[in-house]
Structures are given as C-alpha cells and as structure tokens.
Chains A and B, each alone.
Chain A
Amino acid sequence: GENVEQHPSTLSVQEGDSAVIKCTYSDSASNYFPWYKQELGKRPQLIIDIRSNVGEKKDQRIAVTLNKTAKHFSLHITETQPEDSAVYFCAASNGGADGLTFGKGTHLIIQP
C-alpha cells in the first residue's frame, strides 16, 4: 500500500517569512495530492490540491509543487500570518477505493 512521509514534524517561522513542508510517497499509481489544515479540535480543511498531470498550482499565498519522477510534493506558504498556525497534513491517493493516505503532519508555528 501507499506510504507518505512528511517533514518536518514542527516548523517555526517568523511572521512574514515563507514556510515549506515536504512530503514523499511510495506508490507510483498515486495521482491526487491534497493538503489539509487542521486547527486544534477542528476538522481537517482542504487548502489546496494537485493532480499528477500538473507540476505546480498556486492559490494566493499558497502553492504546491509535484515531482512525479522523484515522488515528492511540497507546500509553500508565503508571507505567513498568525492565522496560518496549525497542523498541516499532506495526503496521496490513486483515486480508487483506498481512501487518502496521510502523512504524520507538520505543526506550523508563526512567531510574531
């Protein structure tokens, strides 16, 4: 089955700086890669996703890049703000009945 590794487990950045979270996956059949943000006690919320036919996608301050050859994808957040503080999860799926396979999460801390 799929295995998703996520790094780092904790990331502390100064407000206004950029943050980068990286994930690798093992199953070459995976073709869908979402990123979720989860605040304490809340549901995971989709912030951006990318499909395997695209190498990069951007939505305002958030971007995701995908390298299918190397089987890794990354989340980039620019101009970080205090409200970006949360746990971020990457995930992978082959679009079938296996559901999403999640990484272990990155606790992003924005220092004022």
Chain B
Amino acid sequence: DTGVSQDPRHKITKRGQNVTFRCDPISEHNRLYWYRQTLGQGPEFLTYFQNEAQLEKSRLLSDRFSAERPKGSFSTLEIQRTEQGDSAMYLCASSLQGWETQYFGPGTRLLVL
C-alpha cells in the first residue's frame, strides 16, 4: 500500500495519560498535515510540516500537543495529560510541494475515558 498510513488505528486511554500517534506519508511527499475530526464535523487543521520544519500550528492546539517530523519522513503527534475533550479522530495527510492535493490516512481514533 503506497498511501498514507497511520498507527495505531484505535487508542483507548485514561484521562491524564500521554499518547503518541504515528503517520507515514506517501514516500515522495514532503508536506505533512495533522487534522482533528470530531463526530459530525469536518476535519480541523492542527499543524503542518514541510520536510522536517513545522511551519504552522493552529490555535486549536494547546501546549499539551506537540508534533515532530525529525527526518522529514514520518511524523508523530503526542498529546500529554489527555482530557476527555481530546477524544476524536486524528487524521494525517500528505502532499507534494507545488501540488495542493492532500491525501489522507485512515486516521487514529482516540477515546479518553
């Protein structure tokens, strides 16, 4: 499968725990995006990388959220001290610089109890 992949697909955690999600973009894509989608809503932009540089971070993200893309390939999104309001689908997308088309991964569904 040469599409965007995400791991894990599902995560259940207790409030206050830390969680980390991984995204592997399409291999030649140098742009990577993270979105959050809650039930009945469209995806909301969280952050964006071009290669390894994080170029934008939405106001949606509190300081409990951090993302990395250390070698310009895969990316991780970490949520510290999870809260019930963090329960959502976390989607990753990638694109090729110069082409706006974003391709989405299957998402990681997070449930915070």
Q: Choose among A42, A95, A102, A103 the residue that contacts B100 (Cβ–Cβ < 8 A).
A: A95
Tell yes or no: B65 within 8 A of A by CB: no
Residues of A within 8 A of B101 (CB): 34, 46, 49
Residues of B within 8 A of A103 (CB): 42
Residues of B within 8 A of A65 (CB): none
- With an 8 Å Cβ cutoff, the count of chain B residues facing the other chain is 24
Contact of B43 with A44 in the complex, beta carbons under 8 Å: yes
- Candidate in B40, B41, B43, B103 with the most chain A CB atoms within 10 angstroms: B43
Tell yes or no: A26 within 8 A of B by CB: no
Q: Shortest beta-carbon distance, B82 to chain A, in Å? A: 22
Residues of B within 8 A of A95 (CB): 100
Known A-B contacts A44-B91, A99-B33, A99-B35; the reply to A104 vs B104 at CB < 8 A is no
Name the interface residues of A29-52: CB closer than 8 Å to any CB of B: 32, 34, 36, 42-46, 49, 51
| Residue of B whose beta carbon sits closest to that of A31 | B100
Tell yes or no: B48 within 8 A of A by CB: yes
- Candidate in A4, A51, A91, A102 with the most chain B CB atoms within 10 angstroms: A102
Q: Choose among A34, A99, A104, A105 the residue that contacts B45 (Cβ–Cβ < 8 A).
A: A99
Known A-B contacts A34-B102, A44-B104, A49-B101; the reply to A98 vs B41 at CB < 8 A is no
CA distance A44 to B89 in the complex (A): 12
Tell yes or no: A85 within 8 A of B by CB: no
CA distance A51 to B101 in the complex (A): 11
Contact of A104 with B100 in the complex, beta carbons under 8 Å: no
Contact of B104 with A102 in the complex, beta carbons under 8 Å: no
What mask results when residues 77 to 112 of chain A are scored 1 for a CB within 8 Å of chain B, else 0? 000000000000101010101111111110000000
Residues of B at the A interface (CB closer than 8 Å) are 4, 33, 35, 40-46, 48, 50, 55-56, 58, 91, 100-107
